[in-house]
Structure 1
Amino acid sequence: MILAELDHIIVYAASLDEGKAWAKDVLGVEFSIGGSHFLMGTHNLIMRIDSDDFPKAYLEIIAIDLEAPDPAVGGVRWFDMDCPTLSRQITKSPRLIHWVVRTQQIQEAVDELRRVGIDRGDILSGSRMSNYGLLEWQVTVRSDGWRLMNGALPTLIQWGVTHPTESMPASSLKLKNVILHVTTEEEKILIEEILGKLHLVHADTSLIKVEVLHTHGLSVDIESPQGLVRLRGYD
């Protein structure tokens, strides 16, 4: 049996400075912890949004690192970050773009998704130094960098010995729920099947829901000092 849990949600910003300003304005918090992803030419800021319902969950604000070399794998960044349309959208404001689930059985999970017609990509190894030591992980990345379904289909990650939240201070942010948006009933059935195959914790308790809408994407509700905030990854 494959077991998986929500790991983190991703907000894409034109720069980390813009991401920090957005977080202060929208969520009422100051981001200060982060690092660089040499493999992808990106860097980030992170903050815990964990709760009893979503243990070890965190929010990642990610941006292209203009001082880093081009991505080491195929010259394409992850999470559609090189997509011209998405790049134009985040010049207006940082934007929720994706979610990631963790599992200790990443190869089995990739194989299972392929059996239902979803190519989540190759499993790449990555690492970065943090203030508390080396973080290591394996993550699925397609050669074209696509998220799939505008971010509604999750990326898979398997952490090494250390998970980043273990050394992060508690925060006032709490993830309440995740809503995945698709355009047809057939897609809804497919995503629900995928969540079931991953035995995703909470997939059957209405904390992670799948809804038919006019577009693909996802939205999340976060309890914050500003009250309950809904972030949307679609127009």
Structure 2
Amino acid sequence: MHVEADHLVLACRDLDSGSSWLAQRLGAEPVEGGQHAFMGTHNRLLQISSPSHARTYLELIAIDPDAPAPARPRWFGLDDPALQARLVDGPELVAWAGRSPQIDMHRWGLITIGLQPGTTLSAERKVPGMVTPLRWQIVLRDDGATLLGGAVPVLIQWMAGHPCDRLPASPVTLQRLAVRGLPPRARDVMRLRGVQGDDAADAPALSATFVTPLGEVVLRSAA
């Protein structure tokens, strides 16, 4: 019952400028994703699967200006004024989602070691050209924040479909995903696979290394 990288979350002020920024740095543009009505957000996606990170994608996400505000804080800390201020300078790697085959088991495991990942919620998103929407379960805190600066994954379990099933191939692949500050007991509870630790004092909580048409590129979370 391993947890492994499902997708990386890159927050941005708006999807158009975020897509241009991503294309300049990775040499590929994300494609249309959809809207999350219950969170007031929308996204674009980029396939980044590799032999060491199968069925993995990059999610570029922003507050949807045409959607009503949700009844709760948005996920991934998007309502944080400090984050929104930083996004003026460009997108930021804010979280990673860990794919679990037993989401409640891993959630309770984190709780037993003193971490509070949140509550398991059911979600869905319509996909253009598909009758059946994507459906998943995801563990979110009531305050919308990530744990330990994003080092702890946001647990997700897909119930119907997966974005990678319809994403076009891209020239970008995830070579390395590293976290700093994740307690060893948390790694053991999740039986984390394919994610490296980084103990350097100046390392960010989350860093991702990509192979791209422009060479090797590293994206990092805020210091």
Both structures adopt the same fold (TM-score exceeding 0.5): yes
Corresponding position of 2:126: 129
Partners of 1:27 and 1:16 lie apart in 2 by 16
User: 1:45 maps to which residue?
Assistant: 44
Partners of 1:83 and 1:211 in 2: CA distance: 27
Code of the aligned partner of 2:79: D
Determine whether 1:225 maps to 2:213: yes
Residues 1:4 and 2:3 aligned together: yes
1:170 corresponding residue in structure 2: 169
Percent identity between matched residues is 35
Q: Which residue of 2 aligns with 1:198?
A: 190
Per-residue CA deviation, residues 30-75 of structure 1 (Å, 9 max, x unaligned), is 2222101111110000011001100000000000001111114x2x
Runs of 4+ in 1 over 6 A off after TM superposition: none
> Relative to structure 2, which stretch is displaced further, 78-87 or 214-223?
214-223
Does 2:67 correspond to 1:68? yes
For residue 111 of structure 1, what is the aligned residue in structure 2?
108
Distance 1:89 1:158, change over 3 A: same
> Is residue 121–residue 139 contact of structure 2 (8 Å, CA) maintained in 1?
yes
Aligned residues: 221
2:197 to 194, 204, 209: 209
Counterpart-to-counterpart distance in 2, 1:32 and 1:163: 15
Q: Is residue 101 of structure 1 aligned with residue 104 of structure 2?
A: no
Asked whether the 8 Å contact 2:29–2:46 carries over to 1, the reply is no
The 2-side partners of 1:19 and 1:137 are apart by 25
Secondary structure of the equivalent of 1:160?
Answer: strand
Contact 1:35–1:43 (8 Å) recurs in 2: yes
Q: CA deviation at 1:210?
A: 3.1
Residues 24 and 30, structure 1, Cα contact 8 Å, conserved in 2: yes
The C-alpha deviation readout for 1:51-105, integer Å capped at 9, x for no partner, is 1100000000000001111114x2x101111111111111111111111101120
1:79, 1:147 within 8 Å by CA — same for their partners in 2? yes
Structure 2 distance, partners of 1:80, 1:32, is 23
**In 2, distance between residues paired with 1:171 and 1:230?**
17
SS of 2:70 mapped into structure 1: coil
Q: Find the counterpart in structure 2 of residue 77 from structure 1.
A: 74
Q: Normalising by the residue count of structure 1, what TM-score does the alignment of the two structures yield?
A: 0.90
Q: TM-score normalised to the size of structure 2? A: 0.94
* Runs of 5+ consecutive residues of structure 2 not aligned to the other structure: none
Secondary structure of the 1:70 match is coil
Question: Using the alignment, how far apart are the partners of 1:116 and 1:215 within structure 2?
Answer: 24
CA distance in 1, matches of 2:199, 2:180: 5
- Which runs of no fewer than 5 residues in structure 1 stay unpaired? 183-187
Distance 2:55 2:129 in 1: 16
Distance 1:130 1:113 in 2: 32
Q: What are the equivalent positions in structure 2 for 1:52-63 lying under 5 Å apart? A: 52-63=51-62
The answer to whether the 8 Å contact 1:101/1:154 transfers is: yes
CA contact (8 A) 2:204 2:220 kept: no
Q: Deviations over 1:119-163 (max 9, x none)?
A: 100111110111253100110110011101111111000101311
Q: RMSD of the alignment, in Å?
A: 1.4
Distance 1:24 1:114 in 2: 39
